[in-house]
Amino acid sequence: VQLQASGGGLVQAGGSLRLSCAASVLTTSTNAMGWFRQAPGKERVFVAAITWRDGRTHYSDSVKGRFTISRDGAKNTVYLQMTNLKAEDTAVYSCAAARWSKFYRDSYNSSDFDFWGQGTLVTVSS
């Protein structure tokens, strides 16, 4: 499975941006897809995820209410719509895929996902 992330860029605080993650193929290896981010000097952290079968979503507390994850089966693509962006949202955003198909706990880390795409940089200026 190959994942291709795109859509990063420079945006002012309060602005919006949409990231895309296209999967080369949808299989049991991509039952769930998600986004992580890594700010300079910090660890990579979970942002949001979605399951393909039923479209259930899960968000970190830091983005809940501002970010929306969605999927388009016809395009094998997952989107992350980011609104009301803050300077602290500045990070490299990476998409990932997992074999599990149901959310099974409240928080997730990198080891919960099996495949990774390259990152895309989001810079929010204040």
Segment 36-71, tens digit of pLDDT: 999 999 999 999 999 999 999 999 999 999 999 999
pLDDT of residue 27: 85
Mean pLDDT for 93-121 is 93
Mean pLDDT for 71-81 is 95
**Tokens at 39, concatenated:** 């700010």
Averaged pLDDT score across all residues of the chain = 95
Q: Is the separation of the CB atoms in 103 and 49 below 8 Å?
A: yes
> Does the pLDDT value for residue 28 go beyond 90?
no
Give the model's confidence band at 109: pLDDT under 50 very low, under 70 low, under 90 confident, else very high.
very high
> Does the pLDDT value for residue 108 go beyond 90?
yes
CB count, 10 Å around CB of 101?
Answer: 15
Segment 79-94, tens digit of pLDDT: 999 999 999 999 999 9
> Does the pLDDT value for residue 106 go beyond 90?
no
Burial environment of residue 1 by CB neighbours within 10 A (0 to 12, 13 to 18, 19 or more): middle
Which distant-in-sequence residues (6+ apart) come within 8 Å of 120 by Cβ? 5, 6, 7, 8, 19, 92, 93, 94
